[in-house]
């Protein structure tokens, strides 16, 4: 069963353009790594400096574990660390934003 996980991240002020540019050129090896780790889809919305992600993935915790030391993800996270207020090194047990309600 596919999980939908919501995430919230925040840009450093002044990095909006660099963030958009980075995401217009996702490295193919990162796309491959994400898919191999069970990611079905990853969507990001931005409001000011706030970023909202929805990740459809086979198993979110397994995905994070698989990508924690993957060279493509390590390089990408290093790039994102330059742009985001809080760096994610994939070492924690992040579970995303708590779901409050869903249309039945």
By CB neighbour count within 10 A (0-12 exposed, 13-18 middle, 19+ buried), where does 81 fall?
Answer: middle
**Which residue is catalytic, options 8, 23, 69, 87?**
23
CA 61 to chain centre: 13
d(CA 63, CA 38): 6
Q: Is 8 a catalytic residue?
A: no
Active site residues: 23
């Amino acid at each position: 069963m596919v999980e939908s996980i919501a995430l919230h991240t925040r840009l450093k002020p002044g990095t909006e353009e660099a963030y958009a540019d980075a995401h217009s050129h996702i490295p193919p090896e990162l796309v491959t790594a994400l898919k191999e780790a069970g990611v079905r889809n990853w969507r990001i919305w931005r409001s000011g400096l706030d970023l909202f992600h929805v990740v459809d993935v086979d198993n979110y915790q397994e995905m994070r574990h698989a990508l924690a030391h993957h060279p493509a993800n390590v390089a990408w996270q290093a790039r994102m660390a330059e742009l985001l207020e809080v760096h994610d090194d994939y070492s924690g047990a992040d579970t995303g934003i708590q779901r409050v309600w869903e249309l039945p």
